[in-house]
Amino acid sequence: MYSFSPPQPYPHAATEYFAPRLALQLPGSHLKRSPHRACGALPPPLRQFSARRIWPGEAAPLAGLSPDHRPDFDATLEGFCREFNRRQLRELLPEEAAALVGLEWPSLRFALETATLDWQNGGRRCLYDNAFSRGEAGIPINGLVWMGDAAFMRQQIEKKLAEGYSCLKLKIGSLDFDLELQLLREIRAVAGPERLTLRVDANGAFAPTEALGKLERLAEFALHSIEQPIQAGQWSAMAELCQQAAVPVALDEELIGVTNAQDQEALLDQIKPAYVILKPTLLGGLGAALEWQTAARQRGVASWLTSALESNVGLNAISQFAGSYAQPGFPQGLGTGQLYHNNVEAPLHIASGELRYAPQGTWEPLVADKQ
């Protein structure tokens, strides 16, 4: 998919990894986050890590979702670094990348791919040349409202509306359903569909037998879409929902682990969703996300990109990719960087519901705390 050559005078690339730990600042969060491993391309002649220039790629498996959130992940990552260094590659070709990292390690593929893209483009944290990466345009994003008690969710909703978001996404399925409907009713009393786009994400919380009835009740709020109303792997039930439901269905977890092109096409052809959600860390990288996007577009299925609790290193890569490949003006799911109180400092910021990048801004130096 991508080839790259190291800048001279370095004869070949080398890799190491380290695992900074980021902490969510979301009150009452139940999410489990693995240490954020950075797999960086390093010029070998310089010996002290603190003096080295690195081109980072982030591998951060998400517990409960990532196929590679496994006990042997660290050992596999270390083995990959050894093998990469042994080969002393002057360029990385698609077949070599595939041989080094199998499809069963999607977050590691994402890390390798983004590190090499940064390397290829001069190590300036500029992976793609587009209006976003040049700081000329922002990317509209949905404001994310996390599940919690009613008071906590109301607080988040009021804050997002005050910050100027034109699209909100609510996590549903953990509270009493009638209470969740009331929260949506309160939002619509303040902002109608002409002012505010509403998305909801059930994360598979509905049983197939109840999902259609619940989506009928949700339809009164003129929702843009509902993500993953039932658990993944129930293609026939999901296809029936997509055909009958009054709310457009977006597939999210359904795509994870489906890496074969024929299986991807079969999934899209059978389920016929309105949208697919593309999370490169979970799907196997930016190239894998692009393959899904292409297959979906050929079938009239729209898509948007979403981060998966990456640090600003991963978020930057996905955002710059979105600047080249996302539908212009269509809100993406790229607002998770604010959830950490000790995120990697980066020239990414959100203003009036848009994610923006300042190319002349400062990145926090990444110092390896080697495990």
Active site residues: 171, 279
- On the question of a cis peptide bond just before residue 106, with omega within 30 degrees of 0, the verdict is no
Q: Which three-class secondary structure state does DSSP give residue 303?
A: strand
Pairing of β 249-251 and β 275-278: parallel
Nearby residues of 243 by Cβ (< 8 Å), 6 or more positions away: 272
Alpha helices (H) in the chain, listed in sequence order: 73-87, 94-100, 106-120, 150-162, 177-190, 208-218, 235-244, 261-271, 280-283, 286-297, 312-325
170 to 33, 66, 147, 240: CA distances (angstroms): 20, 22, 7, 24
Nearby residues of 24 by Cβ (< 8 Å), 6 or more positions away: 31, 33, 339, 340, 341
Burial status of residue 9 (CB atoms within 10 A of its CB: 0-12, 13-18, 19 or more): exposed
Count CA atoms within 13 Å of residue 332 on its CB side. 30
**Rg, Å, the chain Cα set:** 21
Residue 14 φ/ψ, nearest 5 degrees: -135, 160
Residue 317 φ/ψ, nearest 5 degrees: -65, -45
Identify the bridge partners of residue 62 per DSSP, sorted by sequence position.
33
DSSP assigned state of 188: H
**Cα 3 vs. chain centroid, distance in angstroms?**
23
Identify the bridge partners of residue 197 per DSSP, sorted by sequence position.
167
Count CA atoms within 13 Å of residue 255 on its CB side. 31
Contact 15, 108 (CB under 8 A): no
